[in-house]
Structure 1
Amino acid sequence: MSRPLLWDVDTQVDFVRAGAKLPVPGAEDAAPAMARLVRWAAEHGLTHLATADDHELTDPEISDAPDYEATYPPHCLRGTPGAAKIPETAQLDPLPISLTPYPPGLLPRLVEGHRELLVLKKTYSAFSNPNLDPILASLAPSEVLIFGVATDVCNHAAIMGLLARGYDVAFVEDASSGLSEERVAAVLVQWRERDVRFTTTDEVVSATP
């Protein structure tokens, strides 16, 4: 039977913790709600798919003169403390999904044995990882519950990618935050026009998936 998928967008130290490399305003305040969603998924045996920036200084997105639209200061550099997930959303035994394409048919067998998936990426869009589409096809979620950071960048890319592929999407507002209030307002309008369901952590955890 098809079940909801919890999609955790980039809840990494550099984005969430105040004083880190690229903190998103309000992200630290949203961390308790993020933690509740992760616990809820674990309690109900739901797949927790987390995306994570896995940067190197040579990546096109990294710049010493960033425009904060296509380029950003160094952040989430591979192997650094800032690239780690925050404790509130940490995965105990994730299956890491790199950018190297997997042989046909292998991913469904791997995903079947793992509740926690960690999809690595080099750009704001998780769909830049060629393995994400076959993972989603294998999971066939009834709905994708999205939370994390930043609402106007990586959350937006994830949601628009999911909608383009025909998935039902719900956005957990109080477990997310954005970089620019103006851009957040604009993307929320786009999502509402595309029938994204807006919800809260209280609503999610009180429901039986």
Structure 2
Amino acid sequence: MTISKVFIDVDVQRDFCEEEGSLCLKDSPNDLFRRLTAHAVAQRIPIVGSVDSHAWDAWEFTTNEVPAPAGAVKPHFPDHCVKGTPGWLKVEGTLPPRFRFLPNVPEASTQQALDELIRGQIQAVYFEKEVYSLFVNPLAEGFVRGLVEAAGTAPEFFVYGVATDYCVRAAALGLVERGYRTALIEDAVAGITPDGVKAALDELRRAGVRIAQSSELLGAPSV
């Protein structure tokens, strides 16, 4: 199986993307997320995703006094994406028929999921994470490297999801810093603040991330 494209689905979860979500981004393009998922399944494009997975006392939350780790600033977000709650779930229509979630633990094995994704037995693998970057999950580094090695070519990674100024930014930077060809689908992201989005996009351009539109993948929308 030659892999020329990989989709990176960043945190398309109910707490971020739906009106009743605790940290809802009002401009979240949920229909476009669904179209990208359907396109990936139809075209056999692997999806490598991330999901925010918090405990009730996550240091990001304003409801507790847990300090930020060294080098980080506590953002005082409302409680969100607590694993096991409805807000943690992926937005309806953004999961392919077959997928796996990989936990945020170092001792788990990724080989079965990697083999299944390469062979097309599953369409997506999602990495649980507690902070912004996909690569904070200790399983992600080797998994992505193994996928590229098996691709038969140097695939381009297409990043979309939420939030542009936090986890999307971190995922795209993590990919390009590791030498992977990376594009951000600009109309398939949503951010928390306009200033934060602008700063993130400027930073990503400087880092070498290509800014693309969903029409490049899906074609022009029907009128």
The answer to whether 1:108 aligns with 2:107 is no
Pairing partner for 1:76 from 73, 81, 91:
81
| 1:158 counterpart residue number | 171
> What amino acid is the match of 2:158?
L
Q: Distance in 2 between matches of 1:92 and 1:83?
A: 19
What's the counterpart of residue 98 of structure 1?
103
Deviations 1:49-89 (A, max 9, x none): 22101111122222227999634110011111111000131
Percent identity (aligned):
28
Task: Give the residue type in structure 1 aligned to 2:75.
Answer: A
Residues 1:20 and 2:30 aligned together: no
Q: Note the C-alpha offset of 1:200.
A: 1.4
* TM-score when normalising by structure 1: 0.89
Structure 1 match to 2:12: 11
1:130 aligns with 2:143: no
Unaligned runs of 5+ in 2: 117-121, 149-153
Equivalent residue number for residue 197 of structure 1? 210
Pick which of 78-87 and 53-62 moved more: 53-62
Distance 1:88 1:110, change over 3 A: closer
The Cα of 1:188 is off from its aligned counterpart by 0.8
Q: Is 1:142 equivalent to 2:155 in the alignment?
A: yes
The answer to whether the 8 Å contact 2:173/2:207 transfers is no
Which one is further off, 7-16 or 85-94?
Answer: 85-94
Give 1:192 deviation, angstroms.
1.3
How many residues align structurally? 203
Equivalent residue in structure 1 for 2:126, among 93, 118, 136: 118
Deviations 1:97-132 (A, max 9, x none): 1011246xx423431113210110111222110000
Q: Letter of the aligned partner of 1:47 in structure 2?
A: P
**Aligned equivalents of 1:102 and 1:117: distance in 2?**
17
- Unaligned runs of 5+ residues in structure 1 are none
Higher relative contact order (CA 8 A, sep 6+): 1
